[in-house]
Amino acid sequence: MENLEQLKNEILDRINTAEDLKQLDEIRVSVMGKKGCITEMMKGLGALPLEEKIALGKGLNILKTEIEKKLETQKNVLEEKALNEKLAGEKVDVTLPIRPEVQGRIHPVSKICEEVAAIFGQMGFEVADGPDIEDQFHNFNALNMPANHPARQMQDTFYINNNPAQPFDMDQAYVVRTQTSGVQIRTMEKQQPPIRIIAMGRTYRSDYDATHTPMFHQVEGLVIDKNITMAHLKGCLLDFMKAFFELDDLPVRYRPSYFPFTEPSAEMDIGCLKTKTELKIGAGTDWLEVLGCGMVHPNVLRAGGIDPNEYQGFAFGIGIDRIAMLKYGIPDLRTFFESDMRWLKHYGFTPLDISSMTGGLSNNGGLAR
């Protein structure tokens, strides 16, 4: 039994001083393997007298149990040590760009928003913002839209119950804004003229085809001051279109139209050349409608708390997705929202391609491809 105690101390010392898992496994095999020292001693029990056999067998089993526990404990220690060494040696610098993946791309809608803000910012416009969920006063009533106007019907507009505990009431419900014009009303409520703002953002309508989607992007402009005329509107939009399409000369025309919130109202067309395979802006004898505009209706000014006898102004609305399609030759509006990385790689822009009137709207030739 004294030899067993001495053997246990020697084996435990060897286990404690093992430097790695390989050395620990060698110790295990030399002690517990088929030819290990404890295994050989157990094989020799049959030749001993009964009393010695019982006593030595009990001692060997206790020794075997203690060594197994110590081996397991030391194995856990060495595994943790090996893992820490591996982590330290294989450290990943997460501040570096992913490789070998190519650089990401800016979506064309984001790029167009930058370009629009750069152009109108140069003209002295400020960017205003408002909520996506609107009350009907700011989305319809204040914009001189009567209760029976087609745009207020449920087949065109998304309504949200303003009180889930009560039955749905279309007259009291909120709407997911159908236009950013509500931002114009909110600006007039908070600010007295002179006002010169643009409002960009998402808008929502119940429509879906190659040129319409349930969610799309708009920019609307509003200018209010004394002695504002239709000539100011025409000059502002002409300068914008020339800068946006980066053309020195761009044929434009204005056709009479009707919008509840402007009077008189007009639609702006730009000259183009239409063929079966392409659309070229600024050339040819064809015309393409790009936006609606007009002088702000007196009722809209009153709704915003501005005296129409003293002030007047103009407003316009442009579909951001539509002008992106025209400028960059994108044939289908639905692809804007399909999250296709191949499409984004083709039509997207490099992240550092910042739009400015001094540095150029479309650096690096425009598209990142």
Per residue in 215-266, pLDDT tens? 889 999 999 999 999 999 999 999 999 999 988 899 999 999 999 999 999 9
Please give the pLDDT value at position 85: 87
Mean pLDDT of 170-178: 85
Q: How far apart are CA 331 and CA 350, in angstroms?
A: 21
Q: Which residue type does 79 have?
A: E
The model's pLDDT over 40-99, given as tens digits with 9 standing for 90+, comes to: 888 888 788 888 888 888 888 888 888 889 889 999 999 998 888 888 888 777 787 766
Residue 34, pLDDT score: 84
Instruction: Determine the average pLDDT of the residues in 356-361.
Output: 66
Q: Quote the pLDDT of residue 186.
A: 93
Predicted pLDDT of residue 368: 40
148-152, 192-196, 267-271, 277-281, range with the lowest pLDDT = 148-152
Determine contact, residues 293/184, Cβ cutoff 8 Å. Answer: no
Predicted TM-score of the model (pTM): 0.67
Q: How far is CA 294 from CA 176, 255, 298, 364, in A?
A: 24, 11, 12, 36
DSSP E strands: which ranges in 161-299? 174-176, 195-204, 215-225, 252-259, 262-274, 279-281, 286-296
pLDDT higher than 70, residue 359: no
Q: Is the pLDDT assigned to residue 33 strictly greater than 60?
A: yes
Instruction: Give CA–CA dist 54/236, Å, rounded.
Output: 107
pLDDT for res 158: 85
- Provide the pLDDT confidence category of residue 367 given band limits of 50, 70 and 90: very low
**Helix pair angle (50-89, 21-32), 10° resolution:** 170
